[in-house]
């Protein structure tokens, strides 16, 4: 790979030694993008094996056009990513606007109305949907139009599938073995996605923005109280951008008995090169694979 812009910092770049550019037609390419970040995962769909993980952080950018310029620079310098013959290409939105609608209440003609209660803080966005066919849920969300256009231009001969970060996280949570009440939380620097399951039943699926560890813990305790769960017995699993020495983790342990960090998906395989990545990070992006058969 050639040198990338000085405005791009690579925090992870991991390739499985068995990755074969001649086998890309059996690989899925998953791109999770927002204005300051691009995350990439490649999965060998035939072998159910993660082949590549890369994480790019952007700085010094003022507009979305600046972000697109950096995305183009990454692809131009990357022999694998710029290839066009992938089996599947999935673009993952991370916007704050999403809703989950049961199939019996879903009306395609009303798709734009489902997000009316959410403030639209995106300058230029499209409303998209993703159907969780096994669970009969429709996910409705907004995604930046520029990112869709970028992906279409980058891979003009492939259909670009689009889903939301929360869709992948939900599928990952549903793949886990769980009895009783389980609270799955995916953490980013300013927000968390929370999914609560009681056995196989989905009780809550939402995003919360926080500014402090106190905010973070409040939202969890509020959800536990509103759903009449027992903080002594429910299981909380943490994923994403969090470490064991964080203030969030230390404070949460004071109020909830069973708190642990999640693991990589058990139904995907990872070679030894992925051992350098903390298990609970990138759980959402790994689980995009399960959305192919959701």
| Residue of 163, 158, 8, 2 whose CA lies nearest to 83 | 158
User: Strands, DSSP E only, in 87-153?
Assistant: 88-93, 98-102, 125-132, 137-144
Please tell me the pTM assigned to this model.
0.94
d(CA 157, CA 109): 29
Does pLDDT of 11 surpass 60?
A: yes
d(CA 150, CA 148): 5
pLDDT digits (tens, 9 = 90+) for 225-247: 999 999 999 999 999 999 999 99
**DSSP string for 185-227:** EEE-SSEEEEEEEETTEEEEEEEEE-SSHHHHHHHHHHHHHHT
pLDDT of residue 121: 67
Fold of 172-261: Nucleotidyltransferase; domain 5 (3.30.420)
Does pLDDT of 2 surpass 90?
A: no
3-class SS of residue 11: strand
pLDDT of residue 3: 53
3-class SS of residue 3: coil
> Are 112 and 129 spatial neighbours (Cβ–Cβ below 8 Å)?
no
pLDDT digits (tens, 9 = 90+) for 19-31: 999 999 999 999 9
How many CA atoms are closer than 13 Å to the CA of 92, on its beta-carbon side? 27
pLDDT digits (tens, 9 = 90+) for 88-126: 999 999 988 899 999 999 999 999 899 988 776 667 889
| Residue of 282, 211, 281 whose CA lies nearest to 247 | 211
d(CA 214, CA 65): 36
Radius of gyration of the chain (CA): 19
3-class SS of residue 96: coil
pLDDT digits (tens, 9 = 90+) for 257-289: 999 999 999 999 999 999 999 999 999 999 999
Top pLDDT among 176 and 282 is at 282
Cα–Cα distances in angstroms (integers) from residue 259 to residues 47, 77, 185, in the given order: 32, 42, 11
pLDDT digits (tens, 9 = 90+) for 200-225: 899 999 999 999 999 999 999 999 99
Cα–Cα distances in angstroms (integers) from residue 261 to residues 90, 201, 249, 294, in the given order: 27, 22, 10, 24
> Are 106 and 134 spatial neighbours (Cβ–Cβ below 8 Å)?
no
């Amino acid at each position: 790979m050639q040198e990338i812009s000085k405005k791009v910092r690579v925090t992870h770049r991991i390739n499985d030694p068995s990755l074969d550019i001649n086998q890309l037609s059996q690989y899925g390419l998953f791109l999770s993008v927002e204005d300051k970040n691009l995350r990439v995962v490649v999965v060998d769909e035939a072998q159910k094996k993660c082949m590549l993980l890369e994480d790019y952080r952007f700085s010094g950018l003022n507009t979305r056009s600046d972000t697109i310029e950096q995305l183009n620079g990454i692809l131009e310098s990357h022999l694998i990513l710029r290839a066009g013959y992938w089996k599947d290409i999935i673009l993952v939105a991370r916007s704050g606007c999403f809703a989950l609608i049961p199939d019996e209440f879903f009306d395609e003609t009303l798709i734009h109305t489902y997000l009316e209660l959410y403030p639209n803080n995106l300058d230029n966005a499209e409303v998209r949907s993703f159907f969780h066919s096994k669970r009969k849920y429709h996910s409705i969300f907004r995604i930046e139009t520029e990112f869709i256009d970028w992906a279409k231009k980058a891979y003009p001969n492939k259909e670009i599938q689009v889903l939301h970060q929360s869709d992948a996280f939900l599928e990952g949570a549903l793949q886990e073995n769980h009895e009783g009440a389980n609270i799955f939380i995916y953490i980013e620097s300013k927000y968390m996605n929370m999914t609560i399951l009681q056995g196989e039943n989905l009780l809550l699926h939402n995003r919360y923005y926080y500014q402090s560890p106190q905010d973070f813990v409040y939202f969890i305790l509020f959800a536990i109280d509103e759903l009449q769960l027992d903080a002594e017995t429910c299981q909380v699993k943490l994923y994403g951008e969090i470490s064991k020495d964080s203030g969030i983790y230390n404070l949460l342990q004071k109020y909830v008995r069973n708190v642990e960090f999640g693991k990589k998906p058990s139904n995907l395989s990872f070679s030894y090169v992925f051992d350098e990545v903390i298990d609970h990070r990138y759980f959402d992006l790994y689980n995009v694979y399960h959305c192919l058969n959701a």
